[in-house]
Amino acid sequence: MHRNAAVHWNMASCPSPHFVLFPFMSKGHTIPLLHLAQLLSIRDIAVTIFTTPSNSPFILQKLRDTKISVIDLPFPGNIPGLPHGVESTDQLPSMSQFIPFARATKLLQPHYERFLDTLPFITCIISDGFLGWTLESASKHGIPRFVSFGMTCYTMAVNRVVRQEYHNLNCEDIHEPLVLKSFPRIEVLKTDLGQIELYKAGNAWYEFTMEQTKATSNSWGILFNTFYELESTYVHYWNREFKPKAWCLGPLYLADPPRVQPLSKPSWIQWLNRKLLEKHSVLYIAFGTQVDIPPEQLREIAIGLERSNVNFLWLVRSKGLIFDDEFFERVKNRGLVVKEWVDQTEVLGHESVVGFMNHCGWNSVLESICASVPILAWPMMADQFFNAKLVEEELGIGMRICADESSSESDLVKSYRVEKMARDLMLGDKGEEARNKVKEIGEASRRAMEEGGSSKRSLDLLINEVCSMRLR
């Protein structure tokens, strides 16, 4: 249901539950909230989702055959520092434009509040953590606001502890691991911190982060796309030391209904099927949609994969490299490079795929866990660095690939490292250990979403609590 006007519902003697969701304009943030919307809808809860015109087709396609309503808000134009027509971080030429983009979303507030005035009784608002201004809108209307960042509790908690214990941190001065008083066994390396701007006061990234942190702390709850058994230590710590209350509701992607399989299988599935018949294991490689990997790094990856002698399916989104015919000829019996869209969950669920080299975006990590596929972590931005730390050090379900610190090209991962790590994950003892561990955790992830599971119970409790509070 796609509306640009008020949505009306029949009212019984007491208001029917009605949840308003507002995802941030980035697919990695939007998709988990769409899965949550589906979980709410199958519980006969009315759901209204706010977005912008260029983002709504993707949302509507994901929510086809549901009763979920979608309302478009006009995204502001002529924003200094932003290309005209950009309404999603996926469309940004550079992530250096993220802050102007995120701040521009506040210009949606008047339109948003006018629609809130027209909607029937709203039980609660669930909005992305980057849309901190929605707390003000919720408060004006007397509606509790929940926050969703799409991150792990581990990443949120450790990040906040670093900022508290090392206030106004100058990352350039870090030469030894940071020891955390709150988590003595965790040593934070400079390479774990990612964007150094997030930790030093006085720059736009830091100030924006602090604003969102304050809005989060004053909200009614924070939703984590994780399950309690995965990171119980950090859930307990969060609820003891920070606000608001943490609710573990994931892995939300398991709420995605099964897709109708086409009669004609795509080429990449046919290729995986052949590898299965040949009894060859495959390494799947994909780095998300946000980072355009430079040509020199793509070349190093290609050389490393070729020399590793492992079978691989590599999804390449970057326009920066055109593979030469000689490369394809040399790897044709064991490698497939794909540039079109692939169904990642179907790839990870394929019996031949036993390893996943990825950027450690949390959605990809969860999909890998649920498919019981170990990870070769290659973080590139934002929360991905702490996600990689969680994968390797806390959970033991993968290994992290890093650049050679002795190299003058500090960010470039050389081909010999790609070769070694690919072989270690696919053929080595550490890879086998990670494979056994992720199988165990994968089973737990699926149980969490089933009847009686921790995430299923948590969502039911959240609904009951917020509905009861709204009726008082």
pLDDT in tens, 280-296: 999 999 998 777 788 88
Does 1.10.540.10 match the CATH number of domain 10-256+448-471? no
Distance CA 299, CA 188 (A): 30
More confident residue, 4 or 334: 334
Q: What is the 3-state secondary structure (H, E, C) of 399-429?
A: EECCCCCCCCCCCCCCHHHHHHHHHHHHHCH
Q: Are strands 145-148 and 178-179 parallel, antiparallel or unpaired?
A: unpaired
More confident residue, 170 or 123: 123
- Is 50 exceeded by the pLDDT of residue 14? no
Distance CA 38, CA 45 (A): 10
More confident residue, 94 or 359: 359
Distance CA 156, CA 433 (A): 27
Given a contact cutoff of 8 angstroms between Cβ atoms, the answer to whether 36 and 255 are in contact is yes
Given a contact cutoff of 8 angstroms between Cβ atoms, the answer to whether 364 and 378 are in contact is no
Question: pLDDT at position 408, please?
Answer: 47
- Is 80 exceeded by the pLDDT of residue 365? yes
Average pLDDT estimate for 76-101: 88
Question: pLDDT at position 405, please?
Answer: 58
- Is 90 exceeded by the pLDDT of residue 265? no
Do 10-256+448-471 and 267-447 fold alike per CATH?
A: yes
pLDDT in tens, 168-183: 777 667 778 888 999 9
* Alpha carbon of residue 430 to chain centroid: 26
Q: What percent of the chain has pLDDT over 70?
A: 93
Q: Domain-by-domain residue ranges, the chain?
A: 10-256+448-471, 267-447
Does 1.10.730.10 match the CATH number of domain 267-447? no
pLDDT in tens, 318-360: 665 667 778 878 888 899 999 888 899 999 999 999 999 999 9
Given a contact cutoff of 8 angstroms between Cβ atoms, the answer to whether 34 and 63 are in contact is yes
More confident residue, 271 or 175: 271
Tokens standing for residue 122: 């709203």
Average pLDDT estimate for 151-179: 85
- Is 50 exceeded by the pLDDT of residue 10? no
Looking up tokens 């478009």, which residue turns up? Answer: 72
Provide the 3-class DSSP secondary structure of residue 64: coil
Partners of residue 162 on adjacent β-strands: none
Distance CA 318, CA 299 (A): 12
Question: pLDDT at position 404, please?
Answer: 67
Closest to 248 (Cα-Cα) out of 444, 9, 34, 462: 462
Question: pLDDT at position 195, please?
Answer: 75
Q: How confident is the model at residue 7 (pLDDT cuts 50, 70, 90)?
A: very low
